[in-house]
Structures are given as C-alpha cells and as structure tokens.
C-alpha cells in the first residue's frame, strides 16, 4: 500500500498552539511524537509570530517534517483594548481567541477528516464550540505542571472567589485537595487582581474545560503522582475529563539551529563543572539585577553559561552585551564563563556533560528539560506559574528554591547571596544528595517516555482511542 493510502488508516490530528516559545515548543514536540506514532498531523500557524524564535522554530519544524500539513490561521487584528494588556504575547492570544470562529470552515476542509483537535490551555473556551460544531473530540494541552493545572481547574470554584475577594492571607493555603496544599503566596500575582484580563479568561476557561474530551499535560507520573491523582479522581473538581500525563516531551533534532559557541565552549570544560543560567524565552531582567547575577556568578567560583535578556520579545533586544554589563563586570567575567545575549539551544546545553547545575526561572518547559537531562536546579521563580513549578522542583528533589528571593521584580537579590546559593547547589553536602536525586528524576523521566513507560503508554492509548472512533 502506498504511504498516502496507509496514512488514511491512522488518525488525523490538528494542533493549535498559542503565542510564545513556552507553548510552541511543547506543541511541536508533541506533533513530532504523533508523527512518529504514525498519525497524520496538521499544525495551525500564525504569521507573523510574536518572537523571532517562534518563526525560526516553525520553519525548522516544517523543513524536518514535510509530511505535516501547515495550515495558516489568519487572525483578526490585535486590539489592545479588548486584550486589556500591552504584553505582545497576550495581545496575540486575545486575537486568536477572537478569531476562533474562522477555524470551522478551515478545519472542515481538511482531508482526510480530523479525528481530534488539540488546543492550547489559553484557548479553551473559544475552541470548545468549534470542536463541538465539527463533532470533533477536543483536547486541552496544558503546558504547565499538573500542580498548576490543579489551580487552573479550581478557578471556577469558590477558591477563585476567595482569591478575588482578598479573603486569604499570604500565609494561608488554598482548599484544593492536593498534597502538599498550595500556599497562597505561590498564586500568580495576576490572579490576585480581580480586574486582570488574564484572571477573567482563565476563570472562563476553567469553567469550560470540563467540556474538553481530555487534558494533556507535559509531565510524568513519578514526578507529579499526587497532582495527577487529585485531578483524575475528582479531588480537585468534579466532572473534569481524563488528564493524560504524556511528558517529558522529548527535545527534537529539528529544534537545533547552527551549533554555536556555547557548545564549542562546553566541549572544553570538565564534566559537571558549569552552571547554566537562563530565565526562559520571555522574561526580561532589570539592569540592576543582571549586574548582581554577574557578580554572583563570578563570586561563586564556578564556570558558567549565562543568557542575558533585557526585553520580553527578542526582536526588541537592541543593546550590546557590554552596554548591559558594563566594563568592570565584562573584565571580571573574562575567562570565567560565557555570556550571551541571544537564543541558545537550551536542551543541547542541559544535555552536555559539562553542565552540572541550572539557575532557572522554573518555567515549566525548562523544568521538564532539566528533569529529562537529570540536571539539578536552583529555582528562582519570576512570575506566573513559576512558584508552583518551583514547588514541584523542590518536592521531587530536582532542585532548590530560595523562597526569600520572592518574585522576580520584588527585590533585587544581591550578588553575594546568589553566589552562595550557587555554591550550595553545586558543592555543599546537600548538593551531592541533590545530584543523586536529580539523576534519579532523569532516569525516571527517560523511563516514562521510553518503551512501555507510563507516558508512552498513555499517548499510545489515546491514539488508539482516536483510531477506534474513526
């Protein structure tokens, strides 16, 4: 039978990510894994993307997977007044939500007809009527932790009313049946503001998510057993659809750009000697904090690779590195580490034997990449879901979290303190325990996505379900 004939026997799945590398990357990794499981895949893409990194990744993905259909999704113009935000990623997410009605005619023309539609966690309520009208099973892909999903799923309950009415104290814990309970101090600050558009959207989506056929999460059972049980056994919210742990989604070959200086530099460093520092794809740090981090790294005595970001969107980065760091710090850094102010292939770096620790904002993709490579972390949550993710990192033994550092912009953490904590991660007595525990998490992560692992089996069963309803 010809290849195209054969593909008619397999389910056809469409994927719709929202804006930002933290969403696009896991979606494209999932797409790659569905292709490997012989699914027919369509990915909906938006032009222009918010960041340069997104457009690069999209083009590399389609070069690597010519068999995947790229469907262009034309959006209504962005509108700061409806988005009530100036954040370019939220402006685009709002435009996608308002344009969702344009999807029905597009999706219904696909051949062979779709078996399932997987949409981003920030697009739930506008996408449910679309999948319903096309009689298509619809799945929410939650790109953060299962623990964060427990909070998301509770936003349509009395927990959210209490958050919004300000009746909690910061020292309280939420009445969500997950162990250990979620501290109020870990809630994303934007949720505490009853007027924030994000809070409104997520509340609406939380209410509607029970109409999805399932929720996919980039996590694995060993890492988040209790949160997954709480979600699947109705402890968080009655009526939730099945929650599928399908992670860690494996980093793919197509993500790798030109192998640049970081990899060459790492090749010359001893095993486990380097600290990698990055706050993800969309967190800009203030100048004062950047310089303190620089002094902390130098003071720690460890070698380092440090990605500096001064703008949320990569296209806006203008200043040269020496302008940001200043002459004195540039001099001090010489010969001690590598500092860059551009995109790096993070997963390649984390997978390099020279890297021994990761100072991270604990974005969920970064945390899962550290887990996958068994690299210990020093979590420094900056905003959003990151404190809740840091709790997972800490509980699993994958890393440390210094609570007194607060959210990113709350305090400027001094270089000396940063240096001490890096040493603690890399060399203290507790660090050898940390190294063993992180390596164990890494083994379990590989097992989960390996042959007959929990996540591999879950994804296969899901594909089988799509096959059966075809």
Give the footprint of ligand UDP on this chain (CB under 6 A): 20-23, 25, 89, 121, 143-144, 148, 152, 188, 190, 198, 278, 280-283, 307, 343-347, 363-366, 369, 383-385
Distance CA 351, CA 403 (A): 27
Closer to ligand UDP at the Cβ: 221 or 385? 385
Q: Cβ contacts of residue 348 below 8 Å, gap of 6+?
A: 251, 256, 259, 262, 263
Closer to ligand UDP at the Cβ: 3 or 320? 320
Q: To the nearest whole angstrom, how small is the minimum distance from the Cβ of residue 340 to ligand UDP?
A: 8
Closer to ligand UDP at the Cβ: 104 or 283? 283
Distance CA 217, CA 143 (A): 6
Distance CA 360, CA 390 (A): 10
Closer to ligand UDP at the Cβ: 278 or 431? 278
Catalytic annotation, pick one of 87, 120, 205, 385: 120
Closer to ligand UDP at the Cβ: 12 or 352? 352
For the chain, the straight-line distance linking the first and the last C-alpha, in angstroms and rounded, comes to 20
Q: To the nearest whole angstrom, how small is the minimum distance from the Cβ of residue 321 to ligand UDP?
A: 14
| Nearest in space to 421 (alpha carbons), one of 430, 433, 408, 412 | 430
Q: To the nearest whole angstrom, how small is the minimum distance from the Cβ of residue 195 to ligand UDP?
A: 15
Closer to ligand UDP at the Cβ: 222 or 252? 252
Distance CA 61, CA 32 (A): 9
Q: Is 23 considered catalytic here?
A: yes
Q: To the nearest whole angstrom, how small is the minimum distance from the Cβ of residue 93 to ligand UDP?
A: 8
Closer to ligand UDP at the Cβ: 18 or 115? 18
Catalytic annotation, pick one of 23, 295, 361, 373: 23
Q: To the nearest whole angstrom, how small is the minimum distance from the Cβ of residue 362 to ligand UDP?
A: 8
Closer to ligand UDP at the Cβ: 205 or 424? 205
CA-CA-CA-CA torsion for 179, 369, 442, 386, nearest 10 degrees?
-20
Closer to ligand UDP at the Cβ: 174 or 344? 344
Q: To the nearest whole angstrom, how small is the minimum distance from the Cβ of residue 77 to ligand UDP?
A: 20
Q: To the nearest whole angstrom, how small is the minimum distance from the Cβ of residue 282 to ligand UDP?
A: 5
Q: To the nearest whole angstrom, how small is the minimum distance from the Cβ of residue 314 to ligand UDP?
A: 9
SS3 readout for the chain: CCHHHHHCCCCEEEEECCCCHHHHHHHHHHHHHHHHCCCEEEEEECCCCCCHHHHHHHHHHHHHCCCCEEEECCCCCCCHHHHCCCCHHHHHHHHHHHHHHHHHHHHHCCCCCCCEEEEEHHHHHHHHHHHHHCCCCEEEEECCCHHHHHHHHCCCCHHHHHHHHCCCCCCCECCCCCCCCCEHHHCCHHHHCCCCHHHHHHHHHHHHHHHCCEEEECCCHHHHHHHHHHHHCCCCCCCCCCEEECCCCCCCHHHCCCCCHHHHHHHCCCCCCEEEEECCCCCCCCHHHHHHHHHHHHHHCCEEEEECCCCCCHHHCCCCHHHHHHHHHHHHHCCCEEEECCCCCHHHHHCCCCEEEEEECCCHHHHHHHHHHCCEEEECCCCCCHHHHHHHHHHHCCEEECHHHCCCCCCCCCHHHHHHHHHHHHHCHHHHHHHHHHHHHHHHHHHHHCCCCHHHHHHHHHHHHHHHCC
The residues annotated with a catalytic role in the active site are 23, 120
């Amino acid at each position: 039978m010809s290849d195209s004939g054969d593909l008619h026997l397999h389910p056809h799945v469409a994927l719709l990510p929202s804006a930002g590398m933290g969403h696009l990357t896991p979606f494209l990794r999932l797409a790659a894994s569905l292709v490997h499981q012989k699914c027919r895949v369509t990915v909906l893409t938006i032009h222009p993307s918010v960041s340069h990194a997104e457009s690069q990744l999209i083009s590399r993905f389609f070069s690597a997977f010519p068999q995947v259909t790229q469907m262009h999704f034309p959006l209504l113009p962005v509108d700061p007044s409806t988005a009530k935000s100036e954040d370019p990623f939220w402006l685009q997410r709002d435009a996608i939500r308002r344009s969702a009605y344009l999807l029905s005619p597009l999706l219904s023309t696909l051949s062979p007809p779709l078996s399932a539609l997987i949409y981003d966690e920030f697009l739930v309520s506008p996408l449910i009527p679309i999948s319903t009208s096309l009689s298509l099973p619809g799945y929410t892909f939650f790109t953060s932790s299962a623990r964060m999903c427990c909070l998301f799923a509770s936003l349509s309950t009395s927990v959210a009313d209490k958050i919004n009415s300000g009746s909690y104290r910061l020292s309280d814990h939420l009445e969500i049946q997950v162990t250990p309970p979620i501290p109020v101090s870990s809630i994303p600050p934007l949720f505490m503001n009853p007027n924030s558009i994000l809070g409104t959207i997520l509340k609406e989506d939380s209410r509607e998510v029970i109409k999805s056929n399932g929720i996919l999460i980039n996590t694995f059972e060993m890492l988040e057993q209790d949160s997954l049980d709480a979600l699947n056994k109705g402890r968080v919210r009655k009526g939730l659809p099945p929650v599928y742990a399908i992670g860690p989604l494996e980093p793919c070959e197509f993500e790798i750009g030109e192998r640049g200086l970081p990899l060459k530099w790492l090749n010359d460093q001893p095993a486990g000697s380097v600290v990698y520092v990055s706050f993800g794809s969309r967190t800009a740090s203030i100048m004062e904090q950047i310089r303190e981090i620089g002094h902390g790294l130098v003071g720690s005595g460890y070698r380092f690779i440090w990605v500096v970001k001064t703008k949320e969107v990569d296209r806006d980065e203008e200043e040269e590195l020496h302008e940001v760091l200043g002459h004195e710090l540039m001099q001090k850094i010489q010969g001690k580490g590598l500092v860059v102010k551009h995109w790096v292939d993070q997963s390649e770096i984390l997978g390099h034997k020279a890297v021994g620790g990761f100072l991270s904002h604990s974005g969920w993709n970064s945390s899962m990449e550290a887990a996958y490579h068994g690299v210990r972390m020093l979590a420094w949550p900056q905003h959003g879901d990151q404190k809740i993710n840091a709790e997972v990192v800490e509980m699993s033994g994958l890393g440390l979290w210094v609570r007194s550092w607060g959210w990113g912009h709350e305090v400027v953490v001094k270089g000396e303190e940063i240096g001490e904590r890096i040493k603690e991660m890399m060399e203290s007595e507790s660090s050898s325990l940390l190294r063993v525990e992180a390596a164990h998490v890494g083994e379990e992560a590989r097992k989960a996505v390996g042959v007959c692992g929990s996540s591999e089996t879950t994804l296969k069963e899901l594909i089988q379900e799509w096959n059966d309803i075809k």
